[in-house]
């Protein structure tokens, strides 16, 4: 039995839901509302001391990093395979994963935060905000959230985040000059792990993929057209309750 | 033919040298002096646009991320294996890799910089420093280096880095209550990828491993006692020329 602890709008949760959907795996789910800081509850911190979604439980294993979770799912449920069999192909997927984890994932936070989390945080008074942030395992992240909740992100910080997102879009665009998928001929975890970030960017009004990154848009459309895509339930930012999204996969 | 582009004191280069040593692989090497910004030369940026060591060239592949490089070496040269065969064991190694890449590696930079790079940077005048930093691909990193070169890191920033390093030491210490290696019974890439960071920390005067993290010290001593360890040529910070270190492995 697979159990996924996740949040609808979390890009890293979406990575794992996409992988599970492509594998056709069913799973139990535990939903967390990040706006209510459910990822910082004592029960959840006991499961993942880093206080982050997603978490996958399977047999006696508790896995806490979405890239590791997807590699595990591909090792444990190899049909259909989501990584090439040859070492060079696997390394190409690995390098895409690093681009996602090192650049796309940190850079998506500030523009996502401004749209998704800040409205809720602004409604909290200082005592309630402090109580929640005091449970954050990383004091630097807590400080950043506190400042962002009260003042928003600095213009410079947002500009840097968008520069980094454009770097990612540029690399996807360049890879799609070859294509048809990021790591070459086969659809792989490189596509899955990147997808939630480009889908999120597509929703930002600063970006026009069809105009400025047309091959990236072709890739995104191909990804969206895959039969498994609806089962991943990629929802718009701001969606927080299961009632707002389609029924869980069977 | 394997060709490794690396720097002696770079922790990520050390990860790959340790892996190559454990595999008994010979390789050509191209040494870069990070104090002279050789990683930002046009020729090197053409190889790795991120301007970072290590880079491994093999056949027609150019790999630029040390964790990906070590996975590739283990896939391509599987004897001796450096990851468990079972999916759960591989996932355990993957989670250690994430701890290294997400926490240990960013946190080691400020205390390493203060000891290793700042003395050289302080000797540069503003024009020479600006010329070097203008070639840095990530403007935020360039800004951080410039400030650090002139003013050093803020006390708060250094304190945070040390907090994060202590978190890493705590996780190694906890894992070694089981042991004998980080991911369990077998010596794996988890040990190799973590080793350069703990070896670096051991050299910082703020830490006394034997007193405060005794199991961590036992692990480090076991690692150092491995027959392959000397071939990895882990040198003290500040070593910059091949003359200062033992001959390359055959």
Task: Characterize the bridge pairing of strands A61-63 and A55-58.
Answer: antiparallel
Q: Which pLDDT tens digit goes with each residue over B208-245?
A: 999 999 999 999 999 999 999 999 999 766 555 544 54
Tell me how far apart the alpha carbons of residues B225 and B214 are, in angstroms, rounded to a whole number: 17
Tell me how far apart the alpha carbons of residues B34 and B6 are, in angstroms, rounded to a whole number: 9
Would you say residue B138 lies in a domain? Answer: yes
Both structure tokens of A95: 């390098």
State yes or no: pLDDT of A127 exceeds 60. Answer: yes
**Secondary structure class of A218 (helix, strand, coil):** helix
Lowest mean pLDDT among A43-47, A114-118, B222-226: A114-118
Interface test with B, best of A16, A66, A95 (most B CBs within 10 A): A95
Same domain, A124 and A217: yes
CATH number at B6 reads 3.40.30.10
Report the gap between the CA of A83 and the closest CA in chain B (Å). Answer: 13
Lowest mean pLDDT among A221-225, B132-136, B163-167: B132-136
Would you say residue B250 lies in a domain? Answer: no
Q: For residue A196, give its domain range.
A: 87-227
CATH number at B221 reads 1.20.1050.10
Same domain, B223 and B240: no
Q: What pLDDT sits at residue B241?
A: 54
Contacts A64 to B, Cβ<8 Å: 95
**DSSP-assigned states of every residue in A118-182:** HHHHHTS-HHHHHHHHTT-S-HHHHHHHHHHHHH---HHHHHHHHHHHHHHHHHHHHHTTT-SBT
Tell me how far apart the alpha carbons of residues B12 and B200 are, in angstroms, rounded to a whole number: 12
Band (pLDDT 50/70/90 cuts) for residue A117 is: confident
Q: What pLDDT sits at residue A119?
A: 77
Say whether B72 and A90 touch across the interface (CB within 8 A).
yes
Q: Which pLDDT tens digit goes with each residue over B36-93?
A: 899 999 999 999 999 999 999 999 999 999 999 999 999 999 999 999 999 999 999 9
Contact A200, A11 (CB under 8 A): yes
Higher pLDDT, B118 or A39: A39
For residues A199-228, average pLDDT: 97
What string of H, E and C letters represents the secondary structure of B78-137?
CCCCCCCCCHHHHHHHHHHHHHHHHHHHHHHHHHHHHHHCHHHHHCCCHHHHHHHHCCCC
Would you say residue A249 lies in a domain? Answer: no
Average pLDDT, chain A: 92
Answering whether pTM is above 0.90, one says yes
Q: Which helix (H) or strand (E) holds A61?
A: strand A61-63
Contact A215, A173 (CB under 8 A): yes
Contact A215, A179 (CB under 8 A): yes
Q: Which pLDDT tens digit goes with each residue over A134-191?
A: 999 999 999 988 888 888 888 999 999 999 999 999 999 999 999 999 999 999 999 9
State yes or no: pLDDT of A248 exceeds 60. Answer: no
Report the gap between the CA of A85 and the closest CA in chain B (Å). Answer: 10
List the single residue in B67, B72, B95 with the smallest CB-CB distance to A65.
Answer: B95
Same domain, A67 and A95: no
- Cβ burial, residue A141 (10 Å; 0-12/13-18/19+): middle
Say whether A95 and B140 touch across the interface (CB within 8 A).
no
Within 8 A by CB and 6+ apart from B62, the residues are: B47, B48, B55, B56
Q: Which residue in chain B is spatially nearest to A59 when comparing CA positions?
A: B88
Cross-strand partners of A28: A3
Same domain, A114 and A141: yes
Same domain, A169 and A218: yes
Report the gap between the CA of A99 and the closest CA in chain B (Å). Answer: 10
Would you say residue B45 lies in a domain? Answer: yes
Same domain, A93 and A210: yes
Same domain, B8 and B101: no
Would you say residue B100 lies in a domain? Answer: yes
Same domain, B60 and B97: no
Report the gap between the CA of A50 and the closest CA in chain B (Å). Answer: 11
Tell me how far apart the alpha carbons of residues B110 and B148 are, in angstroms, rounded to a whole number: 9
For residues A71-85, average pLDDT: 98
Higher pLDDT, B148 or A58: A58
Say whether A94 and B65 touch across the interface (CB within 8 A).
yes
Interface test with B, best of A87, A102, A110 (most B CBs within 10 A): A87
Same domain, B24 and B128: no
Domain count for chain A, please give it: 2
Report the gap between the CA of B61 and the closest CA in chain A (Å). Answer: 7
For residues B175-202, average pLDDT: 97
Same domain, A102 and A43: no
Contacts A157 to B, Cβ<8 Å: none
Would you say residue B249 lies in a domain? Answer: no
Tell me how far apart the alpha carbons of residues A234 and A218 are, in angstroms, rounded to a whole number: 18
Within 8 A by CB and 6+ apart from B86, the residues are: none
Same domain, B112 and B11: no
- Count CB pairs under 8 A between chains A and B: 69
Percent of chain B with pLDDT over 90: 78
State yes or no: pLDDT of A11 exceeds 60. Answer: yes
Same domain, B181 and B100: yes
Interface test with B, best of A85, A91, A153, A190 (most B CBs within 10 A): A91
């Amino acid at each position: 039995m697979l159990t996924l602890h996740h949040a609808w709008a979390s890009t890293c949760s979406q990575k794992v839901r996409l992988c599970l959907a492509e594998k056709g795996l069913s799973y139990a789910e535990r939903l967390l509302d990040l706006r209510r800081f459910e990822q910082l509850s004592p029960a959840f911190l006991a499961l993942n001391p880093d206080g982050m979604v997603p978490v996958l439980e399977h047999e006696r294993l508790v896995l806490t990093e979405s890239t590791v979770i997807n590699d595990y799912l591909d090792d444990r449920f190899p049909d259909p395979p989501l990584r090439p069999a040859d070492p060079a192909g696997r390394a190409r997927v690995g390098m895409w994963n690093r681009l996602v984890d090192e650049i796309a994932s940190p850079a998506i936070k500030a523009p996502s935060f401004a749209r998704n989390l800040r409205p809720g945080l602004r409604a909290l008074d200082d005592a309630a905000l402090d109580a929640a942030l005091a449970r954050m395992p990383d004091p630097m992240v807590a400080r950043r959230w506190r400042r962002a909740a009260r003042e928003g992100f600095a213009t410079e910080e947002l500009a840097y985040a968008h520069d980094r997102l454009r770097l990612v879009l540029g690399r996807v665009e360049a890879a799609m000059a070859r294509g048809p998928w990021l790591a070459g001929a086969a659809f792989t975890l490189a596509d899955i792990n990147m997808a939630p970030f480009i889908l999120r960017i597509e929703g930002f009004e600063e970006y026009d993929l069809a105009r400025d990154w047309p091959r990236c848009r072709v890739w995104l459309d191909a990804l969206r057209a895959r039969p498994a895509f609806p089962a991943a339930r990629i929802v718009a930012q701001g969606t927080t309750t299961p009632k707002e999204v389609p029924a869980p996969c069977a």
